[in-house]
Structure 1
Amino acid sequence: MKIALTTACLLLSLAFAPRLQAQNRLFGPSISYQYQKGNILKTGIYYASDISSKNILKIDATANFTWIQHKSTVIPEVAATYYSDMYILGLLGRAEFTPYTITPKVGFTILTLVELDFGYGFPISDKTNYRPIKGFATSLRFNIPINKPL
């Protein structure tokens, strides 16, 4: 009798419980490591929103901290990322823009929290007293969502 009563209570609670939905917006800090003609540590913020039931668009702004030719510098960057067919593991396309390079990338993501991508940086202009920042680029990125459902 106890089992039947417990089962009935569980079924009723499931039938009348409010529907849970995933958030359609995420924002928070991000941190990443990139190698492109040298080591680059990136920190910044991002905003991601769904554009369909399986696709997500993310915009982020970062500060790239690098040490090149015994000089440290900070390079600003904006980027846009498109996540295709998001499940647990998804594909991504990304474009990064700095005052010195445009870097298109492709890669993989786990729940948009961890990203691994590869690309090539095309030079726009050279930074004074630095070697050109261009060529093959690979990065590992961590996105930390801080918003909570209301």
Structure 2
Amino acid sequence: MDLRPPCRTVRGTLRRISGSLAALALAAAALVAGPGNAAASVGTAAPSDGRVQKSDLCPEGYVCLFPGGIGVPEPHLIPECGSEYFASPYIASSVENRTNVIVWVTTADGAATWIPPHGSLTLWPVAPVDSVVSQCFVPLPF
């Protein structure tokens, strides 16, 4: 017999349902959007002037968000099979996926783009990123 108060059980059920709906929405967007949008670019060209490549700053097994600006960008690291939801959007110039899974990036304007394993997305000039979700991320039931 469950002795928890009914409001707590209902709240947990609603959270599980909303998590399932979010996963379903991402799957539907994948079918409609296809493999990225016109702003996405896969891979990076090697600079010939001795500059440090962004791919050298992003360790294997991580998704990295690079802020816009001048100088060497310090990436925001998200581990494979993890996710990040930003309360205030993260202003990024590019996102690099150095994992073995597909990663979804949602910007503040509601656009969702997927990045294939070991691919990248250029946001030009910069864009506010609301969330980064790995395909293998499973929300915890609350």
Give the TM-score range, shorter chain.
Answer: under 0.3
Instruction: State the TM-score, normalized to the length of structure 2.
Output: 0.26
Q: Which has the higher helix share?
A: 2
Instruction: State the TM-score, normalized to the length of structure 1.
Output: 0.25
Structure with larger RCO (C-alpha < 8 A, sep 6+): 2
Choose 1 or 2 for highest CA Rg: 1
Q: Which has the higher strand share?
A: 1
